Structures are given as structure tokens and as C-alpha cells.
């Protein structure tokens, strides 16, 4: 296959790209990068060559001779390369802008704060224990979800933006997976929960779940 | 003026949007939101109504009746609305993807970690002092810049991508401002420094500098 996705089962940025590739109907080879084993395979020379940021995911598209990092950049690239499949970025510029903003509310202002390397730093530098790390993660997730829930009051239908799937849903579902993992209180987020349920009825979302990946533990 | 930018002089996400608006030649009204005074104006009801995430910047485009958050979404919106001015996202899909990825290396994996609210949390929950907060900020900036410097070895000319300005430069310059503010060691990043110098020769970048804003202190 010409498309390879280097990722990790529990990385929510990898999870986003898996959902997007499934929704676009693109066959791809999944190459696991173990983020913990042996100090993290993402720090080894072989992976550094693909991605000097030493983070997952990385997409390699051999047809186009491109190696690409950053989940949102990857998803927009795939959306543009295969325009005939379901559009993850809407055609209209106002709607497209709103979708990108909600996706970035998650990808910039929630997810990076509870990333593995950040939790490792909290432990090594400030002696934050497992409970403290979960509290830290929940704090940023709940804060971010509070803003998103308010936005969804004016945009949501079956999905984040009406009845069409978009990049926003592709980002939201993996973030909810993390929220549940860290024990976030979801009671205040009924719209987020409804969208989560609706998305997870779709086989493209189910196949992308962390527990359904070959490197799941 | 139909475009209002709600921002803060020292917010690097606001700084990005100011550069982009200047490069696009768009006149706008700048509305300061003081992030510290009275516990932070971004948390007050008046601003929450514009942006329930309680973060800056927010762009209001009265012509289009849109209120938009997230600096990268705002910049892509402006770039699409005014296609005849300098293009901040390249025409070719591979190049566009690379520009987006580098912008997100900064906007997702560096900047949010040294955001004001994160530094406030470190202080209130883990008693991290001013030196410790600067160390935390430098750590993520230097880590992120190391990856970016390697990428620039294959892409940089006068700017991040050859000789055309792009969204990547618009994100890089404000991040360097933060890097210098927190005392990051820039010696290992000669390409980043060169691009910084080249950008700051342009009046559009100079006018966007924090110290040139009406709310600068």
C-alpha cells in the first residue's frame, strides 16, 4: 500500500488520523511506534528520520513522495487529495473556518497538555503522582469541553456541525476517549456525549478505536 | 471597520493574527483583552459571549456575521477570503500540507504548553516559582525548535519555505519572541534565527510586535 501511518494505539492524534482515513475509504498500512517501550521508539534514530519532532503520528504517502506530521495537517491533506469521498472540511469558507476552529480547540488547547511527554515531565520534575497526573489531565479536558459544549449549542445536530461529519468529530471522539480514561466528569457535556454515541455507531469510528489496533495492550 | 481583533499584546496567538492581517493588507480594529487585570478580562461575561473558551484571540468579521476563535483557523479564513493578497497557504497541496504541519508544530506542540493559564496552574498546584516556570517554558520551546530546525534544513530559504512568506513564518516569529522572553538558548537554531531576522525587516511584522500595540505595558 502506498500510504503508511506510523502511530500508537492510544495516541489520540493517531486515532484522529485512523478515523479520517477510514471515513475517506483509504486503505493504509499501520506501523506501530511504541511510545513507552525502551524509552520510546519515537526517540530512536529510525523514527527521528521520519519525524524529527519525535511525536506520532507520521503519514508517509509514497505516491506523492511526502512524509507528513501533525494530525490536522495530515487529515486536511488527505481530504484535499481525495475530494470525491466524504468531505471532512466543508465547502463554504465560513463553515470550514468554524470546523477548523473547533478541531483546534481540541488539537491545540486540550490534547497537547495531557500528552505523554508532559505527564512524564510533571512526574520527573514536580513529583506529580498518578492521581495528580489524572487530575491535571481532567482539568484541561473539562475546561476545554466546557467551551466546546457551549459552541455546540448553536452548531450541533447528529454531529458537531449539523448532520455532516467533519474534522471536528474526528478530533472530538479521540478526546472523549482520553476524557473517560482520566475519569473526567462528562455529566455537564450532554451534546458532546450525544455526538460521541452517534459517531461510535459508525464502523469507520469503531475500526479506529485504540482497542482495535494491532498494538493495543 | 468591519474586522475587529480581540487580543492581548503579549499573546503569541494574537501576535500571529496581527502579522497575518498586516501581510494581507487588511485594516482592522484592535480590541485589547487584558489577560491579567481583575483576574483576566477573558473570563468576564462580555468576552465569554464572544469566545466561550476564554482565550485570545477572537476575530469578529461583521460583513460575514462570523465570530471566530483559534489563530490558525482565523488566518486560513482571512487567507481564503482575500485570495488576491499574498498567499499564506501555498497553492500546491503538498506544500500547503507542509506549511500547515510546521505551523501546528508551533501552535499545538509548543505554544499551548507555555500559555499563561498553564503557568498559573503550575504555580498554584505545584508551587512552581518564576524560575521554574521559565525553565518549563524553555524546555518545550527548545524541544520544539530542535525538531523545527531539522525540518528547516530541507525547506528554508529566506523564510521557512523558500522565498515565499507563509503561515509557518507567521507562527514562528511570535514563538521566537516567547523563546527570548523565557531565556531560551537560541545558539542551536541558526536557521530559525535567520528567518526571524528576515521577517523582522518587514514592516508588517514590525507593526505586529507586542511592544507596538496600544495595550503594551
What pLDDT, in 10s, does the model give residues B110-147? 999 999 999 999 999 999 999 999 999 999 999 999 99
**Which residues in chain B are classed under CATH 3.40.30.10?**
3-86
**Which residues in chain B are classed under CATH 1.20.1050.10?**
93-204
Interface of B with A in 89-118 (CB under 8 A): 93-94, 96-98, 100-101, 104-105, 107-109, 111-113, 118
- C-alpha cell at position B164: 515565499
Least CB–CB distance from A113: residue in B66, B69, B112: B112
The CA distance from B129 to B119, in Å, is 9
Q: How many inter-chain contacts (A to B, CB under 8 Å) are there?
A: 125
The CA distance from B145 to B192, in Å, is 8
Tell me if chain A has a CB within 8 Å of the CB of B83. no
Q: Residues near A79 by Cβ (< 8 Å), separated by ≥ 6? A: A20, A24, A87, A88, A89, A167
Q: Residues near B55 by Cβ (< 8 Å), separated by ≥ 6? A: A109, B13, B42, B69, B117
| pLDDT for res B115 | 93
| pLDDT for res B1 | 74
Least CB–CB distance from A126: residue in B66, B128, B146: B128
Confidence grade of residue B84 (pLDDT, cut at 50, 70, 90):
confident
Cβ-defined contact of A55 to B109 (cutoff 8 Å): yes
Least CB–CB distance from A93: residue in B53, B81, B136: B81
User: Among the CATH numbers 1.10.10.350, 3.40.50.300, 3.90.1150.10, 3.40.30.10, which is that of B3-86?
Assistant: 3.40.30.10
The CA distance from B50 to B214, in Å, is 21
Tell me if chain A has a CB within 8 Å of the CB of B144. yes
Tell me if chain B has a CB within 8 Å of the CB of A57. no
ipTM score above 0.85: yes
A91: nearest CA in chain B? B80
- C-alpha cell at position B60: 469578529
Least CB–CB distance from A109: residue in B97, B112, B126: B112
Tell me if chain A has a CB within 8 Å of the CB of B43. no
User: Among the CATH numbers 1.20.1050.10, 3.30.420.40, 3.30.360.10, 3.40.50.920, which is that of B93-204?
Assistant: 1.20.1050.10
Residue B56 is given by DSSP the state S
The one-digit pLDDT tens for each residue of chain A (217 residues) are 799 999 999 999 999 999 999 999 999 999 999 999 988 999 999 999 999 999 999 999 999 999 999 999 999 999 999 998 899 999 999 999 999 999 999 999 999 999 999 999 999 999 999 999 999 999 999 999 999 999 999 999 999 999 999 999 999 999 999 999 999 999 999 999 999 999 999 999 999 999 999 999 9
- C-alpha cell at position B163: 522565498
Kindly report the backbone phi and psi dihedral angles of residue B188, in degrees, each rounded to the nearest multiple of 5, phi listed first: -85, 5
What pLDDT, in 10s, does the model give residues B26-61? 999 999 999 999 889 999 999 999 999 999 999 999
| pLDDT for res A84 | 85
Mutation to test the B interface, candidates A47, A50, A108, A174, most B Cβ within 10 Å: A108
Name chain A contacts of B72, Cβ cutoff 8 Å: 100, 104, 108
- C-alpha cell at position B197: 531576522
Tell me if chain A has a CB within 8 Å of the CB of B129. no
Amino acid at each position: 500500500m502506498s500510504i503508511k501511518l506510523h502511530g500508537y494505539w492510544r495516541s489520540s492524534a493517531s486515532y484522529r488520523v485512523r478515523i479520517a482515513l477510514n471515513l475517506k475509504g483509504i486503505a493504509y498500512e499501520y506501523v506501530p511506534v511504541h511510545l513507552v517501550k525502551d524509552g520510546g521508539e519515537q526517540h530512536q534514530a529510525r523514527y527521528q528520520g521520519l519525524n524529527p519532532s519525535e511525536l506520532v503520528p507520521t503519514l508517509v504517502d509514497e505516491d506523492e513522495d511526502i512524509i507528513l506530521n501533525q494530525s490536522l495537517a495530515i487529515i486536511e491533506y488527505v481530504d484535499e487529495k481525495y475530494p470525491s469521498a466524504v468531505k471532512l472540511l466543508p465547502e463554504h469558507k465560513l463553515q470550514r473556518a468554524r470546523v477548523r476552529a473547533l478541531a483546534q480547540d481540541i488539537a491545540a488547547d486540550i490534547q497537547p497538555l495531557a500528552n505523554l511527554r508532559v505527564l512524564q515531565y510533571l512526574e520527573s520534575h514536580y513529583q506529580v503522582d498518578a492521581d495528580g497526573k489524572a487530575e491535571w489531565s481532567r482539568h484541561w479536558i473539562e475546561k476545554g469541553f466546557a467551551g466546546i459544549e457551549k459552541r455546540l449549542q448553536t452548531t450541533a445536530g447528529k454531529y458537531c456541525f449539523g448532520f455532516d461529519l467533519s474534522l471536528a468529530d474526528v478530533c472530538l471522539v479521540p478526546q472523549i476517549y482520553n476524557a473517560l480514561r482520566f475519569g473526567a466528569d462528562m455529566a455537564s457535556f450532554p451534546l458532546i456525549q450525544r455526538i460521541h454515541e452517534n459517531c461510535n455507531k459508525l464502523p469507520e469510528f469503531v475500526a479506529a478505536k485504540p482497542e482495535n489496533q494491532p498494538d493495543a495492550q
